[in-house]
Amino acid sequence: MDPPIAPDNSRLRRLAAERGLALAEALARSIREGRLRATLLAAPALSLASVRAAIQAAAQAQAPLLFTAGPSQVGCEGGYAGWTPEVFVCLLRDLALEQGFDGPIVVGLDLGGAWLEGLQSQPGHSPAEAAQAVQLTIRACLAAGYDLLHVRPAAGEGLPLGVSVRVSDIVARTADLIAYAESVRRELGRGPISYEVSAEGVEGQPVDLITFRAFLDGLKPALAERGLAGVWPIFVVASLGRDSGAAAFDLASARRLAEAAEPYGASVRLRDADGLADPAQCPPAGLLVASLGPSLADAEHDALQSLWKMEDQLDLITGSDLPGALEAAVGESGRWLQWSRPQERDKPLAQLPAARRAALVRLCSRFVWTDPLVVSERQRLMKNMKIAGIDGEAEVQNRIAAALAKRFQAFNLNGAAARMEQIVERWPVKPSPAS
């Protein structure tokens, strides 16, 4: 079986392969061993504009780039971004060529666990159905050429809100999914890949050190029992909490978490890093990866709103109604209910006050960029901008890229790809198997 097409043909990927390493592991080790004091940036797969902007910003920074895509974004049935894993990897390769980016792109599955995202998260699915769904996702990602799998089966069907499953159950489910992924990897003839895990019992809640250590203490023997003593996650994913703001980030707490992971041979990936008041705190805290998401969706929404306001000032016979299309699509999707207040849940979105509707549409816009009406109105807006001599999509892309450029700088990633190459190049090459 031919190996899948890699998302990049970077020198770092080739150097890692020559040393028998997965790309993500090589990046992580180069930061630790080279004492680079850097934090890798992980971008989501929200839309074509945001993905293109992430590659543009990485090219300008000459930095490595991670993508972490959950099954609801990029899934076997397409996800809300509209791509399957195979299509997504091919898209990344094409966009890297388009942007002239020759650096490394790590493609990762985010939230790869039953009852978390996608079809298996819906009520009424049995444990067997949920497990089968996530196995199909893992197989599709490995077949597409993903580098990194987030194995995170912590939540359980039917548990009361806020109740955690037992750590032993999290350990067993995690080890089972890693064992399944390893069997598929071998079946497909893939080289080494990387794993990341989570210790939280409830999605979106901050991790505590007791659970963190108990989980990792239990995972090593669980993997060994499954014949996987040589397999170990490179990242442990930790959250500030889904609704945490900048005040929730404490440098000392983050450093304690990173220090707790170090004896286990793992590093920390921070979720929910959008709201950090000072992203430059991440490298000194020892956080090896920080994930962004909603802030990039906000940048795309706000850029489009600015263009629509400009269009409104033009003397046009037929203007677009992108705000109306977005509100209709968000209302129909029901996504806004996740952030609704108790007094709002028995009302349609259209009946909420204007300011509240606008806030919810902005928050949920990322879920509906591929809605047919939204696509149509966006195209009409861009045509009208072209009449005015403005490349609307370039304006949107540049707005998102500018937000990302600030993070690359804060995470000490400018020029990091070359520094990492120098470090990895010094490591011994793995001997080729005897012919």
Tens of pLDDT, residue by residue, the chain (435 residues): 677 888 999 999 999 999 999 999 999 999 999 999 999 999 999 999 999 999 999 999 999 999 999 999 999 988 999 999 999 999 999 999 999 999 999 999 998 876 444 444 455 556 677 778 889 999 999 999 999 999 987 555 445 445 557 888 889 989 999 999 999 999 999 999 999 998 765 444 566 788 889 999 999 999 999 999 999 999 999 875 544 444 455 667 778 889 999 999 999 999 878 888 889 999 999 999 999 989 999 999 999 999 999 998 888 878 899 999 999 999 999 999 999 999 999 999 999 999 999 999 999 999 999 999 999 999 999 999 999 999 999 999 999 999 999 999 999 999 999 999 999 999 999 887 654
What is the separation of C-alpha 159 from the centre of its chain, rounded to a whole number of angstroms? 26
Domain 11-292+413-425 classified CATH 3.20.20.70? yes
- 34 within 8 A of 385, measured Cβ to Cβ: no
List Cβ<8 Å contacts ≥24 apart for 183-189.
Answer: 184/138, 184/139, 184/142, 185/142, 188/1, 188/3, 188/4, 188/142, 188/143, 189/1, 189/3
DSSP annotation of 141 = H
Angle at 162 (CA atoms; ends 157, 167), nearest 5 degrees = 70
Report the alpha-carbon distance of residue 93 to residue 171 in Å, rounded.
35
Q: Are 109 and 184 in contact (CB under 8 A)?
A: no
Altogether, the residues listed in the chain come to a count of 435
The pTM for the full model equals: 0.92
Q: Do 116 and 155 form a contact (C-beta atoms < 8 A)?
A: yes
The identity of residue 292, as a single letter, is L
DSSP string for residues in 357-370: HHHHHHHHGGGSTT
- The domain ranges of the chain are 11-292+413-425, 297-399
| Per-residue CA distances from 353 to 259, 310, 336, 337, 360 (Å) | 47, 25, 14, 15, 11
**DSSP of 66-79:** EEEE-TTTB-TT-T
- Using only C-alpha atoms, the chain has a radius of gyration, in whole angstroms, of 22
